[in-house]
Structure 1
């Protein structure tokens, strides 16, 4: 970005209205009121490693990072920031996830801390919790997040939480006064914010406390064999129930900002009160909507019904995933494989628009937030949707086939000169093979469609060499406009002499030639695929070859 462009962006900061800037402004107001501010703002994200990390986990880190970068921009980088990714890996394994190998082998370890459960995936990680932590960190590192990782097991056992745990023992009744009104009568009778780790079995015990000794910093309870046991609350001998744990962690670490899903929204006031009881100031919150699977059900780590991080990255770039997270975080969105192509193309469109936008528009553009204010200068000649249709038409099984078409239409391009385009070509082949091809169903043309496609082929044969995508699109419109079935007299600028063209014409093209119900601008497709190749494709469709090949394959 030039110095002038950079100055334009900086001058527009006051007017930026993208949601990370709005959250950053709230955080600035908090800091201005904070007494004893030590010069560092702490952002935190939480992760429950009861199952493999999923995209929602990544989204929390990505979105928090966006707020962090907006805060740094608004404060001119004069205030230090930290991002702590905290794993609740000392939680007991309450149920065995569906998506692990040999579930029966984990049954003896139910209720044990996740970092004490054997790793069902094998390898070098000593426990299930360690494995899942590593899976999260691997991706965060690959993406380049600036963060610190924290393990609840380590913090409890190393003494990092000892001070707040001793304070919880001193203020035990005040914590109970917060919690008990939120519980049913049966739960009230046995509830304790402290969960001791059984010296006998190593399990996390949900048992009432017989005594809480604030002076000695101990709790007494009945262990699994019925005998009373007294343990110090420090040193990893106990952990806190999840609601008090939220507030205690905020108080212990001095967290300034944390976002969480809508399923935590009703509990947020409880977290805040616990934090205050323990002498802390609750952080600023941001509540986001939950992701849904293709059936509209909430994504669950234990069910494994959502996309994993690795699955998205098999078919698209991390930047496209980050854009998906940036867009409308307070609206429920379906998160499954079908959303990937659109996310990729929207990212590319915003990236191409960024250099031409004014200061405020740049700051509201998602790519500013994805790239921390410095998006790369990239403009691609084709869309991801167009590459997918090129794969469909050419039956490409390797991206080198796509490059043959790309180089012919865009001389001078190459995988070496355009690494992003090369990456997209690989994504397109994999996505098409796994998700489009199995669902693709060509159909035969009826008599009207046969005549229209024959007319299209004849018109393309007369197109001048090197015809542009716009010229080819105009030919497609002219052919469709001459067919009564496809005439649209209510279209914008339509006249009785020159009607518009209905979507039915394009739907017929896609269904008959590509085996799909929709696609990109077909003129752009022809320009990339080639006029001769498109005419050959039409001939194959009208000869019944496409339908026959599909029937043979099935």
Structure 2
């Protein structure tokens, strides 16, 4: 344990850098509550998306890194702001008109358009928890509705009421003139309509713990700020949560930097500490636009898992959190193969290298052995040339290539085979574009086919790759990348692909020769 801690204290992996920053928070004394509290926040006005998962995954990575260098217990709270009013109906849900009728109600009182839960907020909370549970995250779930109604925020809400003017001094400069005229940090929940109202606070009574506001119909109502009768605007609410719960660490997207700064100022105004913060870059869709849970323009958790493992998704989250990344279909195969490469490297690495290996952070220091018999990209290309519609097609080739592997002895790889077939059918097959070979390429392809027909050596990926290289050089390809690109475009209908020697070994020497001969006759272009 001492060796691990010493190595972790010097590791340049970003979760360890964050953990060391958090350790400094408690140099003078451990937290009075007896544990370090990590928090992630979730607004359930739309369906959970990969960004939500990423925040929990990354926070967990920092938590595990902290536990490697500190003996202070930790907790992770996944907090849902499900008492917020629904301000607009998401576009990617059924029965959208139902949600339109329930605008301004707390999310836990908005009817569930899916018809599976008592409310839309509870439906989305369940979707989030189901995935987090399936992935094995260690966390505690918290509902704003439950916390407000149970009085768990009452003391801090009264403190905010006491510091009302100081909070307003923080918030008003961040608002436009029109919004300033009506702004209040307190949002009363109307006893008449149940709506979460955005109205001015007309009077405050500190002794009674109440505010006075005006209903849309003009009636003035006095209401307690406690007991779930009011909630806070989300920026003051975020800060209030930090103070009420004693949050020590929280992440947020780059777009929330101004909001986090306001939260810290509110904490100072109230006289309470704020957590250590980490901001990450946003995910972009295929067109380079920010993904949005209301638009549904990014990959969903379910969509990623249809084609790749949860661990590959964790790797995507681990990599360069400060860099904006495209979250599109085409990143999946590369990420799956990179995850496999990290697993294979781990056993041979020393402790220092292991602590920078993403596999350590994805698996909390105990990564499994790699299950991939061949790279995922190779499976996709095998599926492409065979037109695979099921796993059995690919296993017919795999059993010959790796006799010791089977679906029964390697269920992890068998799952990857199934995902590769699904990815090919959904994402590769509809986009394949075959082309005719140029005169130079035709001569080289004919030569390669002839050499494969007369192949007598060991059909190893390395030997076959050398032969492919030799053909490219013999036919005057100054840049061998152009030769390999031609192989992919003419034979596979794609602009890039696997190491071709490995592909030949997997698909078969005679089978590859036959594929080339079909291409030279124009059959692949005609079939496409």
TM-score (normalizing by structure 1): 0.93
Partners in 2 of 1:425 and 1:322 — Cα distance?
A: 20
- CA deviations 1:494-546 (Å, max 9, x no partner) are xxxxxxxx211111111111111110100000001100111111121122221
- Retained in 1: the 8 A contact 2:254–2:282? yes
One of 500, 512, 522 as aligned partner of 1:544 = 522
How far apart in 2 are the matches of 1:453 and 1:185?
Answer: 71
> Using a 3 Å threshold, how does the CA distance of structure 1 residues 279 and 406 change in structure 2: closer, same or farther?
same
Contact 1:252 1:280 in 2 (8 A): no
Q: Is the contact made by 1:254 and 1:280 (CA closer than 8 Å) also made in structure 2?
A: no
1:506 aligned onto 2:484:
yes
What's the offset of the Cα at 1:379? Answer: 5.3
Distance 1:424 1:7, change over 3 A: farther
Inter-partner Cα distance in structure 2 for 1:546 and 1:56:
40
**Residue 403 of structure 2 corresponds to residue 411 of structure 1:** yes
Offset of residue 39 of structure 1: 2.3
In 1, are the aligned partners of 2:449 and 2:513 still within 8 Å (CA)? yes
2:302 matched residue in structure 1:
310
The aligned residue for residue 84 of structure 2 is: 91
CA contact (8 A) 1:445 1:512 kept: yes
Whole-Å separation in 2 of the counterparts to 1:363 and 1:145 = 20
Change in CA separation of 1:416 and 1:302 when aligned onto 2, cut-off 3 Å: same
Summarize the alignment of residues 438-457 of structure 1 with structure 2, pairs less than 5 Å apart: 438-457=430-449
1:336-375 alignment to 2 at 5 Å? 336-375=328-367
**Alignment-derived partner of residue 62 in structure 1:** 57
Cα distance in 1 for partners of 2:220, 2:345 equals: 68
Cα deviation for residue 261 of structure 1 reads: 0.4
2:43 to 48, 62, 67: 48
Deviation sequence 1:283-313 (CA, Å, 0-9, x none): 0000000111111111100000001111100
| Cα-to-partner distance string for 1:119-167 (whole Å, 9 max, x where unaligned) | 01112x1111110001100000000000000001111111111111111
| 1:7, distance to aligned residue in structure 2 (A) | 7.4
Name the counterpart of 1:106. Answer: 99
Shift of 1:271: 0.3
Shift of 1:184: 2.4
Shift of 1:183: 2.0
Range with bigger deviation, 384-393 or 413-422: 413-422
Verify the 8 A CA contact 1:9 1:358 in the aligned structure 2: no
For 1:229 and 1:80, how far apart are their aligned partners in 2? 45
- 1:246-325 → structure 2 map (5 Å cutoff): 246-325=238-317
In structure 2, C-alpha distance between the alignment counterparts of 1:85 and 1:455, rounded to whole Å: 61
CA-to-partner distance for each residue in 1:457-499, whole Å, 9 max, x for gaps? 0111222253211110111111111112x134xxxxxxxxxxx
Q: Tell me the SS of whatever aligns to 1:114.
A: coil
User: Which residue, out of 531, 534, 549, partners 2:512?
Assistant: 534
For the Cα contact (< 8 Å) 1:460–1:475, is it kept in 2?
no
**Within the alignment, does 1:326 sit opposite 2:321 as a pair?**
no
Decide which moves more: 29-38 or 522-531. 29-38
- Give the structure 1 partner of residue 13 of structure 2: 18
**Which of 182, 188, 194 pairs up with 2:180?**
188
Pairwise mapping of residues 392-431 of structure 1 onto structure 2 (< 5 A)? 392-431=384-423
* Structure 1 residue 516 corresponds to structure 2 residue 509: no
* 3-state secondary structure, aligned to 1:441: coil
Q: TM-score scaled by structure 2? A: 0.98
Match of 1:236 among 224, 228, 233: 228
Q: Take 1:239 and 1:10, find their aligned partners in 2: how far apart are those partners?
A: 43
**Aligned equivalents of 2:487, 2:438: Cα separation in 1:** 12
Could you tell me which residue of structure 1 aligns to residue 110 of structure 2?
117
Contact 1:248–1:278, Cα closer than 8 Å, also in 2: no
- Number of residue pairs the alignment of both structures matches: 528
- Determine which of 402, 422, 425 is the counterpart of 1:433: 425
Name 1:498's counterpart in structure 2: none
Gaps of 5+ in 1: 1-5, 489-501
SS in 2 for 1:32: coil
Matched residues in 2 for 1:69 and 1:231: separation?
A: 44
Q: Show the counterpart of 1:82.
A: 75
Is the counterpart of residue 155 in structure 1 residue 150 in structure 2?
A: no
| Structure-2 change in CA distance of 1:249 and 1:7 (3 Å) | closer
